[in-house]
Amino acid sequence: MFTHIAQGYDGFDHLASMGNDFLWRPRALWDLDRFRAGAPVERALDLGCGTGDLAVLVQRHFPKASVIAIDFTRAMLDRMRQRHARSRELRRISLGRATGLRLPFADGSFDLVTNAFVLRNFADLPRALAEMRRVLRPGGTALTLEITEPTSPAFRQLFHAYFDRVVPWMGAAAGSAGPYRYLPESLKALPPRDALVSSMEGAGFSRVEPHLQSMGIVTTFLAGVGTRTGTGTQAVNSPLGKG
């Protein structure tokens, strides 16, 4: 399915989101800066990188970091190379094919793990969250950007009228009816915002914060990994040292 939509993926997303996807990723990184409170990023992993928009932004945002971008669909990686061929950032990003359910990295390999609109695609979400936690170093952070339910009941009705009906119709018009019918269905499989926060805490993250964008259409989930102290586990990324 993702191979089928790889070539037209970028343009369709920009159109379907009415251009808001150009804002969501940078805003997520701004929230990340406040969450990490200036902690350095030396190694970063973008999980399910797709056509590379977030990975390129992460490399630009942390120019001294070593960034690895992975996806399980070869066509998406090929499209990323085409899309960002003239980007200086792409030349500094290592690309690889892998699954988020079994990451080919040692424990504690990264300061930052990012992903955008990926969680709802995992067949085993707890395992994916556990893998993200496993490869993060003490003091590391996971950034997850995901489509979520709007907070306003009235706006929620408008959102679903568009997301559940108009977006699949647009996909059919573009010759990709099946994949874009899958999009609203995948949202139904994702736990609600509060439940997803609890799932991240259950995966071993010591501090989890949801940051809503566009009235809750998308949420940036930021999750920190605690450090060991003499008295137990201490939450990190907080100026007061409190979770």
Buried b (16+ CB within 10 A) or exposed e, 132-154: bbbbbbebbbbbbbbbbbbeeee
pTM of the model: 0.85
The pLDDT tens digits for 15-36 are: 666 677 889 999 999 999 999 9
Supply the range of the domain harboring residue 25: 2-225
With respect to residue 148, please indicate whether it lies within any of the assigned structural domains.
yes
With respect to residue 68, please indicate whether it lies within any of the assigned structural domains.
yes
With respect to residue 57, please indicate whether it lies within any of the assigned structural domains.
yes
With respect to residue 230, please indicate whether it lies within any of the assigned structural domains.
no
131 neighbors 100 (Cβ within 8 angstroms)? yes
With respect to residue 239, please indicate whether it lies within any of the assigned structural domains.
no
Token code pair at residue 57: 């932004």
Ramachandran quadrant class, 189 (left: phi over 0; alpha: psi -120 to 50; beta: rest): alpha
What's the CATH number where 36 sits? 3.40.50.150
101 neighbors 124 (Cβ within 8 angstroms)? yes
How many separate domains does the chain show? Answer: 1
With respect to residue 234, please indicate whether it lies within any of the assigned structural domains.
no
**Is residue 86 scored above 60 in pLDDT?**
yes
Helix locations, 37-100, DSSP H: 53-61, 74-83
Lowest mean pLDDT among 29-43, 137-151, 179-193: 179-193
Token code pair at residue 42: 């030396």
Token code pair at residue 11: 């343009």
- At residue 119 the predicted structure's pLDDT band, cuts being 50, 70 and 90, is very high
SS3 state of residue 212: strand
